[in-house]
Amino acid sequence: MKTNRSRRDFLKTATVAGAGYMVGFGNQMKRARANALEDVAVAGIGIGGKGGGDIAQASKFGKVVALCDVDRGTLAGAAQQYEGAKTFEDFRDLFADMQDKFDACVISTTDHMHCPITAMAMKAGKHCYTQKPLTRTIGEARYLGNLARATGLCTQMGNQGSAGDQLRKNAAQLRAGVIGEILEVHARTNRPIWAQGPNRAMTMEKFIAQVKAENPDDEDIVNDEIAEKKKQIEEASKQFDWKLWLGVAPWREYWPGLYHAFQWRGWWDFGTGAIGDMACHNVNMVFKGTDLRNPTSVQAISSGHDFDSFPAKSVSKFEFPANDWRGPIKFTWWDSSQAPEPALLEKYKFPEIDWTNSSLVIGDKGAMLCGGQGDGIPVFRDPNGNPIDAIPEDQTDFVLAPVCDEAADNDTRNKYEWFNAIWQGKPELCWSNFPNHGGPLTETMLLANLAVWAASEPDKWGEKIEWDAENLKVTNLADLKTPKVADLVCPVYGEGYDQIEV
């Protein structure tokens, strides 16, 4: 395939662009200033679950001065860990009260609140570490990328595998052409591990009808069950603010166990399904290694959904055009432990490995099978099943993430890279910064959800989504029979929150 710019030219440019990074960091880097620990004041927004770990890791390199969470129990527990940190339930109150008292935010809320919180933070001049996926919709990801570029703030999306040496080596091998011109990519996951599927919504009216249908001759049982459920809801309302939890999402009744705390991932209004949760991990290495961005189309098949909850399983097929250093690529995402035909692996005589959350990359000179989330030791095979040697590292653009004694794991190291960027005033030092990697990766993977939305009928390929990535437009929208596809590109927020425009 002839292209305007060769892989060798691409590597040369990439290596030169990263040279300052390599010289500055090397294998070990000291903090830019001796008093850096006191220099960066940090606010944690969304501090339960993963957010609790995120703010704890950030506290190794900055001072936690504010905490925010809609769950009052979570907030009270965190306040005991960070002496002097001021607490808030509403992030808008945090910004109003402490505008000039902190420098950076760690944002680990539900997906649907990532963009409104991160946007407010950057508009206030705060550096942002925001958990993956960067946003719930494509347009929001583009918006945050543009905002980060305009403000010059240091940003990092929380796909922690980015900091791993092996993941970076694997991406560099693909860029250097270890298996030749990339033709096809497959990535898969065991997610969802939370509930998804149609007819899952519950309201008090629906609950009462069900209880009466199950106990038609026992009014006492009916009344007891209704009273008990109302008591559960009342107790929950003391624990957290449902209206604040909903945030920018449309109003719906709270129901115990359906949304807060973890099950929100399976709902269109709040989460991004399996691909939103895991592709920022499992496709991270391949995205960097093959420049897997700006798809032109995607089509999906699913187990069926009701436009409220994601399907229990789905498969999405993307088409990527050639760019100035590689040819076109076909990419397939498999969730719920689904997989391509075994013959695809057998052809290259790959060994038996657990690649549940990983990737298969096929080139014109061979293939690469990589276990883990792109950070496993890869296996390279030629079309006859013979091993292919890795390209020497000094012939690739491989660059280590910075390391220090406090960053013993990749998750902490990912934060350390972000702090290093802040200390040096160099946003480009973050692998998963919003403009160049975190945002585009999120945009690309979330396009699948437009196709899944259009694949609501079970076990039937949905309508193909034709996509103009530059302008964020569904080009065949007028021909689609599926309603509201364009609504998934960029949302309209609820009252009380600043709208965004892309």
| pLDDT single digits (tens) 194-212 | 999 999 999 999 999 999 9
Dihedral of the alpha carbons of 502, 297, 450, 452, in degrees to the nearest 10: -160
Residues of the chain with CATH 3.30.360.10: 165-196+268-401+442-488
Band of residue 322 on the pLDDT scale cut at 50, 70, 90 = very high
Nearest to 255 by CA among 265, 268, 242, 271: 242
Cα 441 from Cα 386, distance rounded (Å): 32
Q: How many CB atoms neighbour CB 140 within 10 A?
A: 29
* Predicted pLDDT at 93: 98
Distance CA 434, CA 294 (A): 16
Give the confidence band of 38 by pLDDT, cuts at 50, 70, 90.
Answer: low
Burial degree of 368 (CB within 10 A; 0-12, 13-18, 19+): buried
Provide the 10 A C-beta neighbour count for residue 229.
17
Q: In what helix (H) or strand (E) does residue 468 lie, and over which residues does it extend?
A: strand 465-468
Q: Does domain 165-196+268-401+442-488 have CATH number 3.30.200.20?
A: no
Cα–Cα dist 285/377, whole Å = 12
Rounded to 5 degrees, what angle do the CA atoms 369, 374, 380 make?
Answer: 25
Q: What is the pLDDT of residues 421-431, one digit of tens each?
A: 999 999 999 99
Q: List where CATH 3.40.50.720 sits in the chain.
A: 23-164+402-439
Angstrom distance (rounded) from CA 382 to CA 387: 6
Does the pLDDT value for residue 99 go beyond 80?
yes
Residue given tokens 């390391």 in the structure block: 403
Predicted local confidence at residue 4, as pLDDT: 41
Give the pLDDT confidence score for residue 354 in this predicted structure: 77
Ramachandran sector of residue 21 (left: φ over 0; alpha: ψ -120 to 50; beta: rest) = alpha
pLDDT tens-place string over residues 228-280: 999 999 999 899 999 999 999 999 999 999 999 889 999 999 999 999 999 99
Mean pLDDT of the chain: 91
80: how many CB neighbours lie within 10 A of its CB?
8
Task: Work out the pLDDT band at 8, boundaries 50, 70, 90.
Answer: very low
What's the confidence (pLDDT) of residue 22? 28
| pLDDT score, position 356 | 81
How far apart, in whole angstroms, are the C-alpha atoms of residue 328 and residue 321? Answer: 4
- At residue 44's C-alpha, the angle toward residues 271 and 239, to 5°, is 65
Model pLDDT for residues 344-381, shown as the tens digit of each residue: 889 999 988 777 888 999 999 999 999 888 999 999 99
Within 13 Å, how many C-alpha atoms sit on residue 22's CB side?
11
Q: Work out the average pLDDT over 8-18.
A: 39
Q: Which residue bears the tokens 């069900």?
A: 210
- Angle, to 10 degrees, between the axis of helix 72-81 and the axis of helix 50-58? 20
Q: 23-164+402-439 has which CATH code?
A: 3.40.50.720
Nearest-CA neighbor of 431 among 5, 121, 62, 25? 25
Question: pTM above 0.85?
Answer: yes
The mean pLDDT of 101-105, rounded to a whole number, is 97
Residue keyed to tokens 């206030």: 124
| 163: its two tokens | 């900091």
Q: Are 380 and 3 in contact (CB under 8 A)?
A: no
For the cut 50, the answer to whether the pLDDT of residue 147 exceeds it is yes
Alpha carbons 218 and 225: distance in angstroms, whole number: 11
Identify the H or E element spanning 67.
strand 63-68
Angstrom distance (rounded) from CA 36 to CA 33: 5
Helix (H, G, I), strand (E, B) or coil at 446: helix
Mean pLDDT computed over 216-239: 94
Q: What is the pLDDT of residue 239?
A: 92
Does residue 9 register a pLDDT over 90? no
Beta strands in 303-358 (DSSP E): 314-320, 329-334
- Does 332 have pLDDT greater than 70? yes
